[in-house]
Amino acid sequence: MVDVRPFRAIIYTKKAGNTEDLITQPYDKIDPRMQKEYYAKSPYNYCRLILPLEDNKYRIANQRIEQWLKEGIIAKEAQPAIFVSRQEFDLEGKRYQRTGIIAALRLYPYNEDKVFPHEATYKAPRADRLNMLRMVQKDLECVFLMYQDPKAQTEAFLAKVVKTEPVIQIVDALNVKHTVWKVNDPQRIKEFQLALVDKTMVINDGHHRYESALAYRDEMRIKDNWTENSAFNFQMSYLVPVQEQGLIVLPTHRLLKNYKLTEDLVHAFKFFFDVVDISPTVDGLETFLKEHLHEHAFGVYDGSKAFGLLLKHDPAVYEFVNANVSKETKIFDVVILRDIVFRFILKTGELSMDENILYERWTKVAIEKVDRKEADLAFLVNPISARSVAEIAMQHELLPEKSTDFYPKLVSGFMMMDISADEKL
């Protein structure tokens, strides 16, 4: 079983001001414009901890946490608790809700088959978050994981909790309604822990944070006297059943720098794909993708023209795909895009995030970035289902970096967890 425990959360007090002015999107979703906007909202905005503008950002974040604790802007709660968190949101004209648990999840190396990754990671973000952990000794943001619950074993627990009075209820800047309930009744917590007896977890968001937490744990075990109850053996986590109706995955479109949509390139596409002219608009690209949802379809846009690419039903193409694409993950569009389009046709080699590849969830924004010359080509993809992600992860297969975008994100700033050497759970 996975070990899930309550923790003494560090939360904002009333001194900090309105919660709406304090919360942020996760650190890796904050661009420079958002960073400045968050700073302008409040001197205590959470961006000042997870992604400081100043030099020596790790030291600055730690200084702020210590100062805010001293001033009573944030405070550690006296009693351990777990939290139920619900997001309600609109997407493409439909209303959804997603409910999960925030708790301390014991850290398990991937080879123990209790927590499974689903996509590859980059070295730089791992190093960045590890440096932050070393300095602040706090989990500033949750890792988002899912678990199979076909018999709805946790549903009864959640149903009881959401009938009680919430401790937080706000609407964020993306018009997502967040409601948080606190559970500190030991009997209720035990009920939830028992419901997870036979569960395993798949990471949705936060692979870099999870892997950094494992590295930090191992460092702390070497230099300190520790027990299995030491808080640094755990990661503050948001846990959601795969069966949740609101467990939505958006596509993550790829934008390349320094590549042009030449006639030779279009000709090369035609060996593998049926290539069709489509309207170089958001509607044109999205319509093509929706019409070919399960057919290995891609849209490509260069600022003036757009093409739809549809993998050919051709024995020679399938033979090549079978020989050159990962056995288990070749059914996924992002893998075919990486291995066939990028590595074989474009000969990109390994791509580096921000340096020569960008990622974007919305078609409109992807097109705008190409129009502004922030990238040269946008490759648009269809989304992957949450169930497919869980299945492939538990077969020990990894998708490419940034293959999924679970939406909406759990905002940052509701709470943090102390993982210093003396803290026990």
Q: Is pLDDT at 148 greater than 80 in this prediction?
A: yes
241-250 pLDDT, tens digit per residue, is: 998 889 999 9
Identify whether 394 is part of a domain: no
pLDDT, residue 159, reads 86
Confidence of residue 325 (pLDDT cuts 50, 70, 90): low
Q: Is the pLDDT reported for residue 129 higher than 90? A: yes
CATH number at residue 278: 3.30.1760
Note whether 323 and 189 are same-domain residues: no
Residue with tokens 């990894």: 398
Residue 130 pLDDT > 90, yes or no? yes
Q: At which residue do the structure tokens 């020569």 appear?
A: 356
Q: 139 and 266 share a domain?
A: no
Paired sense of beta strands 234-241 and 143-147, if any: parallel
Chain mean position to CA 94: 22
Do 38 and 118 share a domain, yes or no? yes
Lowest mean pLDDT among 68-77, 319-328, 382-391: 319-328
In a domain, 401, yes or no: no
The per-residue pLDDT for 304 is 95
Same domain membership, residue 111 and residue 56? yes
Q: Looking at the domain assignment, is residue 101 inside a domain?
A: yes
* Residue 288 and residue 235 share a domain: no
How far is 302 from 237, CA to CA, in rounded Å? 40
Question: According to the model, what pLDDT value does residue 265 have?
Answer: 93
Question: Where does residue 152 fall: left (phi above 0), alpha (psi -120 to 50 degrees), or beta otherwise?
Answer: left
pLDDT at position 339 is 84
pLDDT(328) > 60: no
Find the domain containing 355 and state its range. Answer: 252-382
Q: Is residue 425 part of a domain?
A: no
Give me the mean pLDDT over the 117-144 stretch: 91
Residue 124 is assigned to a structural domain of this protein: yes
- Which pLDDT score is estimated for 338? 87
In terms of domains, do 76 and 106 share one? Answer: yes
Say what the pLDDT of residue 330 is. Answer: 60
Whether the pLDDT of residue 290 is over 60: the answer is: yes
pLDDT value, residue 151: 83
Statement: the pTM of the whole predicted model exceeds 0.85: yes
Domain co-membership, 28 together with 168: yes
Q: Which sign does the torsion angle of CA 256, 257, 261, 262 carry?
A: negative
Q: What is the pLDDT of residue 316?
A: 81
Q: Is residue 399 part of a domain?
A: no
pLDDT of residue 350: 81
Do residue 234 and residue 260 come from a single domain? no
Spatial distance between the Cα atoms of 288 and 297, rounded to a whole number of angstroms: 8
Task: Tell me, yes or no, whether 390 lies in a domain.
Answer: no
Q: What is the pLDDT of residues 330-348, one digit of tens each?
A: 668 888 898 889 989 999 9
131 and 220 co-located in one domain: yes
**Residue 240 shares a structural domain with residue 287:** no
**Same-domain pairing of 378 and 284:** yes
Does 223 or 31 have the greater pLDDT score?
31
pLDDT per position as a tens digit, 46-89: 999 999 999 999 999 999 999 999 999 999 999 999 999 999 99
| pLDDT-based confidence at residue 327 (cuts at 50, 70, 90) | low
Query: Considering its fold, how many domains does the chain have in total?
Result: 2
For 30-55, write each residue's pLDDT tens digit.
Answer: 999 999 999 999 999 999 999 999 99
Whether 210 is in a domain gets the answer: yes
DSSP secondary structure letter of residue 24? B
Q: How confident is residue 220, by pLDDT bands cut at 50, 70 and 90? A: very high
Residues 260, 206 share a domain: no
Mean pLDDT of the chain, nearest integer: 92
